[in-house]
Amino acid sequence: MGKLLKNRELLLVGAILVLIALIAWRFPPFITPANLARVYNDTSILIILALGQMAVILTRCIDLSMAANLALSGMVAAMLNAAFPGLPIPIIILSAMALGAILGMINGALVWKLDIPPIVVTLGTLTIYRGLIFLLTNGKWINAHQMSDAFKSFPRTDLAGIPVLSWLSVVMVVTIFLVMSRTPLGRAFFAVGGNPHAAVYTGIDVGRTRFFAYCLSGTLAGLSGYLWVSRYAVAYVDIAAGFELDIIAACVIGGITIAGGIGSVPGAVLGALFLGVIKNALPVINISPFAQMAISGMVIIIAVAVNARAERRKGRVILRKAEAV
């Protein structure tokens, strides 16, 4: 099992390296360290979001509302900054994360306390959260000139040659990795997804674990909300529309099984990086950016087919003949 997991991530590393090599063959400057660092920086937000989605998917749930949560938290962060330009950035970040966490808690509470299927809950909150942005702003945009310089420059600030945005994603990756592998909560995520009934008998509250997974995904979406808005220096109703599918795609490519219980932090990071490399490479090798959507669609299908084949060898098939039909 552990060997298989390692294989999958190695496979993904290999795929990314092949991809980068192919791009470098068409456009050598792509592999300069400065450019690769830029690609990583550009993918940072997706990585942070994929970590949250991973926790949710591990518990056999799904969070379709992450992008809407990001947009709402980002908008509130921008509005805070526009209203009180003197407010220190850490407070803005913390309030965006807190709002994100609350929105995640709403999802989690509906799944936990009312036992509503996660896909229905987050489908509903997806439209509600995005609608709330409209109610909050009446459809108005918050543009660059309304934001303070500190607000916009924070993710760009250089720290040892690398922007704060990249550092933040690294910190998040390490933190979530430690949570997943070193804390009871992290193990509970896997246990709940692997076998919810067995988890109950080992003393894990399935609903509560799912609730915490949603809190985590919400908090990370809130953080990403601030990062997104300050990076692109604009906030409006439709920012990151449809991005929820990119997040899920990153997880699926990273080998996180939609049926729960299987996945890893490196997988999520690599899945996000794979999409990030494709997105950044298309313009430089003269493929129309319009092709990006079709390519990521193909990649998702191939990734899920490859992952499913890897899982099938795991066994647990009692009636092989019947399953084969």
Partner 1 sequence: MAETHLSPRIIPDRLEGRRARLLKSWESLLLVVACVIFLGNSLASPYFLDPWNLSDATFNFTEKAMIAFAMALVIISGEIDLSVASIIALASTAMGYAVQLGFDTPALVVVGLSVGLLCGIVNGLLITGLGLPSIVVTIGTMSLFRGLSFIILGDQAFTGYPDSFSWFGQGYVWWVFSFEFTLFVVLAVIYGVVLHRTNFGRAVFAIGNNQTAALFSGIRVGRVKFTLFLLTGLMAGLASICLTSRLGSTRPSIALGWELEVVTMVVLGGVSILGGSGTIPGVVLAALIMGMVTFGFGLLNVPGIVMSIFIGLLLISVIALPILWRRARRRLAH
Interface positions with partner 1 (CB under 8 A): 60-62, 110-111, 114-121, 123-128, 130-132, 134-135, 139, 196-197, 200, 206-207, 210, 237, 245, 248-249, 252, 258-259, 288, 290-298, 300-301, 304-305, 308, 312, 322, 325
Shortest approach of partner 1 to residue 134 CB, angstroms? 4
Cα distance between residue 321 and residue 325, in whole Å: 7
Identity of the residue, 94 or 304, whose beta carbon is nearer to partner 1 in the bound complex: 304
Nearer to partner 1, 280 or 296 (CB): 296
**204 Rama sector, left if φ>0, alpha if ψ -120 to 50, beta otherwise:** beta
Minimum Å gap between C-beta 146 and partner 1 is 22
**Phi and psi at residue 254, in whole multiples of 5°?**
-75, 5
- The region that residue 260 occupies, defined by phi over 0 for left and psi between -120 and 50 for alpha, beta otherwise, is left
DSSP per position, 71-115: HHHHHHHHHHHHH-TTS-HHHHHHHHHHHHHHHHHHHHHHHHHS-
Q: Which is nearer to partner 1, 102 or 200 (CB)?
A: 200
Query: Please, which residue, 210 or 231, has the CB nearer to partner 1?
Result: 210
Cβ at position 88, least distance to partner 1 in Å: 33
Secondary structure of residue 159 in the 3-state scheme: strand
Closer residue to partner 1 in complex, CB, 147/237: 237
Cβ contact 59:186 at 8 Å = no
Nearer to partner 1, 40 or 189 (CB): 189
The closest alpha carbon to 264, from 197, 313, 159, 193, belongs to 193
**Contact predicate 251/148, CB 8 Å:** no
For partner 1, the closer CB: 90 or 203: 203
CB of 286 to partner 1, least distance (A): 14
Question: Min. distance of Cβ 290 from partner 1 in angstroms?
Answer: 4
Tally of CB atoms within 10 A around 233: 16
CB of 57 to partner 1, least distance (A): 10
Q: How far apart are CA 273 and CA 135, in angstroms?
A: 35
Instruction: State the minimum distance, in angstroms, from the CB of residue 297 to partner 1.
Output: 3
